[in-house]
Structure 1
Amino acid sequence: MAPHQENQSQKTCFVIMGFGKKVDFETGRTLDLDMSYQNMIKPGVEAAGLRCIRADEIVHSGLIDMPMYELLLSADVVVADLSTSNKNAFYELGIRHALRPFTTIIVAEDGIKTFPFDVNHVAVRQYHHLGEDIGASEARRFQKLLTEAIQQILAKDPIEQDSPVYTFLKNLTPPALQKMQEAMRSAATAAKSLEPKTTPEGNESDGADNPTHRALMAQVGEAKKKENWLEMKRLLEVVRKTQANSRKQLRQAATFEASSEDQEDPYLLQQLALATYKSKQPTEEAALLAARSVLAPLAPHTTNDTETLGMWGSIHKRLWDLTKRTADVVSSKTNGKEDNNALLDEAIRAYERGYYLRNDHYNGINFAFLLNKRAAESKVPAEAIADYVQAQRVRKEVIELCNQSLAVQTFPRTPEVYQSKEEQQKEAAERYWVMASQGEAYFGVGLFEEANRIIQYAYAIAPEPWMKVTTEEQLAKLRVLLANDPLRFITPLKRIPKCKLPKKGN
């Protein structure tokens, strides 16, 4: 039974969108699309009296594609969120427009710069995303806007067409709903023979009790909050295996060949890499190397995904620190010194690309710090000086970026604006890290009084004690690096006497 058939009396809305955190490659920003769904879209749909379903909420034992396609056809309303220009969302929107002439609503975060030609003449309702969350007032505004839009669309008789396919192809007849549903059920029955008889964990299952993707990811979130990294890793491996099985079944059902497009979810791999290296199991080094392997399918050397680059940089920075402390080497291809330098170079390249793609304080301050690390390690004066000077320039840019960020943040806001204490603490943490980065940048360029003023203010708003400890440890490390100033290699240039020019005619 498809999810929308459980209650025939209630109309259904299917939501097309990505889930989890996704990178908007136009702006380099990372948006938490779950916040869009949970705080605005789902409440807005339910307020209009419809049952709201997203793909990760579908309970199914086989291919997710079967119930998804059926919902694209039969849902009374479809809301398509095109934020971050998600390829799957555009594809599914195209299917909906081809199948149904009406009741499709397109929304997107207002940071999107351009839409493809085929979509830019369709009405798009926009909302403002803060990146990690949605502001309470904006959530209320967009909920109301979406509720009213759904009610108005369904109240019209006859319902107006909103599909460009049926607008431009005047004589096109939409498929008969009953016949299409019968065809899809036949396809689902045929595909059932390809389904595994066990769950991803190896237990017999008929599929009725399989948890949805969203339910599993909620458990992942709880494990992450509790810093139970091994449990988080276990859950993510279950999700990863489930998705791999689904892709395999789809290829078998449709006789597709595996290709470069058969890619894993970047957010899933990023979170799995995080849980893997944080677990430090079976050893810290083994965990870091395993995390690096998890990220490898995302092509860290060529990707424009700043989350992947930040994770890749963090892993190699930690590997470099670890091998530096233990005097061990990660591989035995070359001498340990060269291997260790290669790890540091890899971390610097990742943070550098992430910084210039995203233009943000986090990647920038890490990039500058590692440049100072490499300058302190270098035995070549010219290279040490070049890294030192570049680090100073990046810190000056970070100071300005932090100024811009702080200028648009109003903190603290009035208590009634926050939906929960957790939301207020999250906002305080975001502001803290901006100020900590700015304070470190001022410290790095030698403006110590300004650095102390900003850092003390940051300490006053820190929602967690460990944040202050982390900043103090970072400043202590930076102090040591700056004491090793490579500009000491520069000696005053000897004055070169002017050459006498020959007289004319000589």
Structure 2
Amino acid sequence: MSDRPLCFVLMPFGTKPDPAGKAKVDFDAIYEEALAPGIIAAGMVPLRADEERLGGVIHRAMFERLLLCDFAVADLTTANPNVLYELGIRHAARPHTTLTVYASRKPLPFDVAPLRTQPYDLTARNILTPEAAAALRDGVRDKLRELRRIAHTGDVTDSPLFQLIADWRPEQLPAAAAPTFAEQVRAGEAVKARLQDLRQTVVATGASDEARAALAAVHAELRGGYVTDLGVHTEVMLAYRAMDDWTGMIDTYHELPAHLRRQVLVRQLVAFAYNRRAENAEDPADPRRGSDRQAALRLLHEMEAEQGPTSETCGLRGRIHKAVWLEAVAAGDEIRAEGLLTRALDAYLRGFEIDWRDYYPGINALTLLDARGTDEALAAMEELMPVVRFALTRSAATEVSAGYWVPATRLELAVLGGDPAEARAALGAVLASGPEQWQRTTTAANLRIIRDARARRGVDVTDLNSIIRHLET
């Protein structure tokens, strides 16, 4: 990252619902195709806010960027609460150098007339066309160049607070704060880029010794304490996850300061890691398996006590009970296995009932109903399947990029519904999505549950075995 001025981008991550009920808005595409290129063309370095991706955490790095970045661009489309909160802080601290953008013909939370702003166009399905992207890119470039020119004179104020209260003079940070901040940001962004490249390499070629050594080197650098951005440490956890290194994820979590360990996304990640480490223990008698699962359940209990159960916490709880159920089945402990299956099913069903839009607990509930195999369970599966299919269809229709889990869930639904043609098409989409190893392993394990249940009922599982082999190779 060069010494060019930093431009902080305040906008949602991923795809977000349109308040008017239309297709979701792909903010990643807007950033990558228009905002970032426009900022770069203006001679600046784009720096994107990441607290929403980190579960809404308001952390020190976010405040530093709002207060100390030379320029800022805020996308008001969909009136995202994180963006509005950040924009308010920016307007209270900086009299000028803030540009707002928004999609035309979308409801806005307030009058943008007093602001320096740049509208852009989305189609009826909320797609940013190449022509609209070029127009937004050029508009952002030109307005930021103008902002950069007038920033030296201070003649123009774009903050409503500074416009309306002439005597507003917030306390200034020490003169050394900005250079120190810029140095830390550049270091953090460089580490993030290295980690993201590393994850892509692992997906493409596997977790080689070289990749593991490279991640260990980055992690060792972070232990030196020169990067305090939670986003960087989260990227380390995700890189360890891509390598199926559950201990690495857990160690990273415990190295974080206490206030960062309290963040929801971080706790979800480490609960996931504790359970995966328990599942993958080489020695079934390893006492750490039980303690790891208890640690995961304790984290989930803490999160639910603070903010109530969610589809995510219920899904993680269901996964833990499902793993213990499979171990009881393998040990021939039928009575205990039946009780554990009930606990796993209850967790998944509760998660799906909490949020009918989240197909993850729904598809897992279907799989376990099929595994139970009683007439009552199979009838419940047939009743629930259209609801899960609708949730998946709605998600797929509003996601510009389906990622891995949409085709993976399509695959499981096709297998459960006995549709070999759809299963084959979904398998192709799964393999083409470039999944991480743990994702393929998860889907293969679920399909093995279905295969074993179907085989016990005398169903031909030849095609299903072929699908599983493709996922395991």
TM-score normalised by structure 2 residue count: 0.61
Does residue 453 of structure 2 align to residue 453 of structure 1?
A: no
* CA deviations over 1:384-437 (Å, ceiling 9, x no partner): 63x544421221234445556667789xxxxxxxxxxxxxxx967456325314
1:47 alignment partner in structure 2: 41
CA distance in 1 between partners of 2:253 and 2:131 (Å): 32
Task: Give the Cα separation in 2 of the matches to 1:474 and 1:139.
Answer: 47
Provide the rounded CA distance (Å) in 2 between the counterparts of 1:301 and 1:68: 23
Indicate whether 1:163 and 2:138 are aligned.
Answer: no
2:473 equivalent to 1:479? no
Deviation, 1:352, is 2.1
Partner in structure 2 of residue 288 of structure 1: 293
CA shift for structure 1 position 34:
8.3
| Change over 3 Å in CA distance of 1:65–1:204 after alignment to 2 | closer
- Which deviates more, 291-300 or 116-125? 116-125
- 2-structure distance, mates of 1:406, 1:203: 40
Distance in 2, Cα, partners of 1:320 & 1:214: 35
Does residue 395 in structure 1 map to residue 385 in structure 2? yes
State how far apart, in whole Å, the 2-side matches of 1:49 and 1:457 are.
45
Give yes or no for contact 2:314–2:348 (8 Å, CA) kept in 1.
no
**1:173 match:** 167
1:150 aligns with 2:144: yes
Matching of residues 417-432 of structure 1 within 5 Å:
429=404, 432=407
Amino acid at match of 1:100: R
**In structure 2, distance between residues paired with 1:296 and 1:483:** 40
Aligned-residue offset at 1:355: 4.9
2:69 counterpart residue number: 75
Q: Quick one: structure 1 residues 366 and 76, their matched pair in 2 at CA, closer, same or farther if it must change by over 3 Å?
A: same
Structure number, greater radius of gyration: 1
Percent identical among aligned pairs is 23
Would the aligned equivalents of 1:285 and 1:322 in 2 still touch at CA under 8 Å?
Answer: no
1:353 has 2:321 as partner: no
**Could you say which residue in structure 2 is the equivalent of 1:343?**
343
CA contact (8 A) 2:73 2:98 kept: yes
Matched, 1:278 2:268: no
Q: Is the 8 A contact 2:7 2:44 kept in 1?
A: yes
What do residues 73-104 of structure 1 show as CA deviations (whole Å, max 9, x unaligned)?
Answer: 44331234578977655433222122233332
> Which of the two has greater helix per residue?
2
Q: Structure 1 residues 116, 475: closer, same or farther in 2, change over 3 A?
A: same
> Structure 2, unaligned stretches of length 5 or more?
52-57, 181-218, 460-473
Alignment of 1:60-99 (within 5 A): 69=63, 71-80=65-74, 89-99=83-93
1:312 to 2:329 alignment: no
CA distance in structure 2 between the aligned counterparts of 1:221 and 1:127, rounded to whole angstroms: 34
Q: Which letter maps to 2:340?
A: N
1:216 shift after superposition: 3.1
SS of match in other structure, 2:381:
helix
Partner of 2:242: 225
Name the SS of the counterpart of 1:79 in structure 2: strand
Aligned equivalents of 1:289, 1:50: Cα separation in 2: 48
What SS does structure 1 have at the residue aligned with 2:92? helix
Task: State the partner residue of 1:439.
Answer: 414
Output the aligned Cα RMSD. Answer: 5.3
Which sections of structure 1, spanning at least 5 residues, go unmatched? Answer: 58-63, 129-133, 189-200, 248-262, 330-334, 377-383, 411-425, 444-450, 485-506
SS across alignment from 1:299? helix
Which residue number corresponds to residue 253 of structure 2?
A: 236
